[in-house]
Amino acid sequence: MAEFEAVYRANFGVVAAFFARRAVDPQTVADLTSDTFVEAIMSFPSFDPARGSARAWLLGIARRVFARHCEAATRVGDVTLRLAGYRPIDVDETAELIQRIDAAREGRVLLDGLAGLSPADQEVIELVDMVGMAPREAAAALGTSSGAVRIRLFRARKKLRALTEQGKGEQ
């Protein structure tokens, strides 16, 4: 448990920021972050540091949690079922999550440029440039080779530069 606690403490902010860039509602950010760590603690015995960093492993889990969240959100379901797991968060927690969300929204021109990229390009830029992963770690999180990540990253950065220059000119 001490090992998992160290992983949790070192990576909570990274995982919360991952969801803050994708969700507007602080409650959703908190729920998705919580779901990620529940899944992580359940699968922690199978975590192999030789295959990649804990951060890459956690963001791989976070990607799957977010994908499931998006699938569930697109399905029309029973409102009662969706609200059954709803737990309002405390005011202190809300304020902290709002600060995290606002901090993740800095650099509006850059984020607008990111929106102009394909989802695959957005993901590689986020993992390497925003989260700070090495391309090798990002490759582990994405389930691809580090060479493919490096090529995608080079091309995505080039497209992003062009889009942000265009965005700066429009302001």
Q: What is the pLDDT of residues 73-130, one digit of tens each?
A: 776 455 555 556 666 677 777 888 777 776 665 566 677 788 889 999 999 998 998 8
The pLDDT > 70 percentage for the chain reads 84
34-43, 67-76, 135-144, range with the lowest pLDDT = 67-76
Q: How far is CA 159 from CA 35, 41, 87, 125, 131, in A?
A: 34, 38, 41, 11, 19
CA distance 141 to 53: 9
Burial of 49: CB neighbours in 10 Å, binned 0-12, 13-18, 19+: exposed
Per the prediction, the chain carries an average pLDDT of 84
Residue 164 has pLDDT above 70, yes or no: yes
Give the model's pLDDT for residue 60.
Answer: 92
Q: What confidence score (pLDDT) does residue 167 get?
A: 62
Report the alpha-carbon angle 23-18-74, nearest 5: 40
Q: How far is CA 41 from CA 15, 38, 64, 164, in A?
A: 14, 5, 15, 39
